[in-house]
Amino acid sequence: MKAIWRFFASIKLTIVLAALICIVAAYGSVLAVRNQEFYRYLDRVILLPWLADKGATYFKLTGWIFALIILTAVFAVNTVVCTVDRLYAVIKRRLPASAFFPQIVHIGFLIALLGHLAGTVAGYKSDGNILYKDVPVPVPHEQGLSMRLDDVEVRQRPDKSNDISFVRTRVTLLSGNETVKTGEIGINNPLIYKGVAFYHIDAGKAPAGLVLEAEGRRYELGFNAALRGETSGPYAIGTVYPDFAIDPSGRPSSRSEEFRNPYIEVSGRGKKGYLFIGRPGSSVNIAGRKVSLADYIYAPYVILNINKDPGIWLIIAGSAVLTIGMLLLLFLRGERAELVSRRPGARLRNEEAGE
């Protein structure tokens, strides 16, 4: 048992594991570049269930991930044993508080690693969730929880690159009709609620409805029922046909899913017709009245990626503890914080001497 303990407490094991982890990770990076189609969705899935499903079938492409997991697990055991070993020595010999600082770093690392482990086992990742302003949308996999876009502001750099320099997406989370959280999402700054993280991916404006003109009046009709207000008047819009055609039985249909000849069903006063929506100015007669397409309604939208990581708070807490430990080492121990491979007895004597 002592031999096993000494093996896992060895600084040489730490060095070997660190080197192997770097080598395996570098090899995996090369594979990822050469097989982008296979790995492109890896960051959108839960790792361990994905490995259980794909790992054996595509072992040539996943073997390095298994190796990395095993090496990281052994590295974690090595860190735990080293930390316990050092804490025991520090407490037993009543060394100064500064002797605890390296162990704070170790503990922070282990907490964060535990959080990452939780995230590889459970949770979910949902990409490409579209939110239109003021329209509540259910949050995937979260029963009773919905999200609403309140406002979005995106600024681009003034140079020719047009890169985004600032993002502020204001989102409200609702449980039924009750607001549970309102917050802003920025670049690399998600909104987090009960372990669910909301990330801003894209924003813009999209056609959300039509402005129809009839009998000298204008009527605004939204494609989404939630966008329809009191300005719709006696008219309503229905099915959109991207590539409109009339089938042999006289019923409307679409020849394809491409918007080659887009029409929409318009009904009013007990009648209905089909209006071309490819450009403003087109018209259709409904119940003897001319109904024209005057304009489009545009609504702001954002695209969010939504991830639930049960270990996110452990990762944040572990990172904070690790950072505190590093600051203590840098500013309160100076060069004495360097980890040097020495014999255990010599290391303890040096620390007792205050070196």
Q: Are 111 and 126 in contact (CB under 8 A)?
A: no
Confidence band of 230 (pLDDT split at 50, 70, 90):
very low
> Does the structure show a pLDDT above 50 at 214?
yes
Of 298, 95, 90, give the one whose Cα is nearest residue 205. Answer: 298
Of 189-203, 279-293, 330-344, minimum mean pLDDT range: 330-344
Q: 158 or 79: whose pLDDT is higher?
A: 79
Q: CA 119, CA 121: separation in Å to the nearest integer?
A: 5
DSSP state of 156: E
Note the pLDDT tens digit of each residue in 138-177.
999 899 999 999 999 988 777 766 677 788 999 999 998 8
Phi-psi region of 8 (alpha: psi -120 to 50; beta: other; left: phi over 0): alpha
**39: its two tokens:** 């790995």
Q: 225 or 81: whose pLDDT is higher?
A: 81
Q: Are 291 and 121 in contact (CB under 8 A)?
A: no
> Does the structure show a pLDDT above 70 at 287?
yes
Confidence (pLDDT) at 249: 87
> Does the structure show a pLDDT above 70 at 19?
yes
> pTM surpassing 0.75?
no
Q: CA 256, CA 241: separation in Å to the nearest integer?
A: 9
Could you tell me what percent of the chain has a pLDDT over 70? 90
> Does the structure show a pLDDT above 60 at 113?
yes
Q: Are 169 and 188 in contact (CB under 8 A)?
A: no
**144: its two tokens:** 């009773």
Confidence (pLDDT) at 161: 64
> Does the structure show a pLDDT above 70 at 347?
no
- Bridge partners, 265 (sequence order): 274
Confidence (pLDDT) at 162: 66
Mean pLDDT value of segment 15-43: 90
DSSP state of 147: E
Confidence band of 235 (pLDDT split at 50, 70, 90):
confident
Instruction: Scan for tokens 């490995």, then name that residue.
Output: 51
Q: Say how many CA atoms lie within 13 Å of 232 toward its Cβ.
A: 20
Residue type, 338: E
Q: CA 136, CA 175: separation in Å to the nearest integer?
A: 11
Mean pLDDT value of segment 250-256: 92
For the chain, what are the domain ranges? 2-123+330-352, 125-206+302-308, 209-298
Confidence (pLDDT) at 232: 55
Confidence (pLDDT) at 40: 78
**321: its two tokens:** 């503890």
Q: What is the dihedral of CA 263, 267, 271, 277, to 10 degrees?
A: -20
Q: Are 208 and 297 in contact (CB under 8 A)?
A: yes
The SS3 of residue 299 is: strand
Instruction: Scan for tokens 């007792």, then name that residue.
Output: 352
Note the pLDDT tens digit of each residue in 99-112.
888 899 999 999 99
Mean pLDDT value of segment 283-292: 93
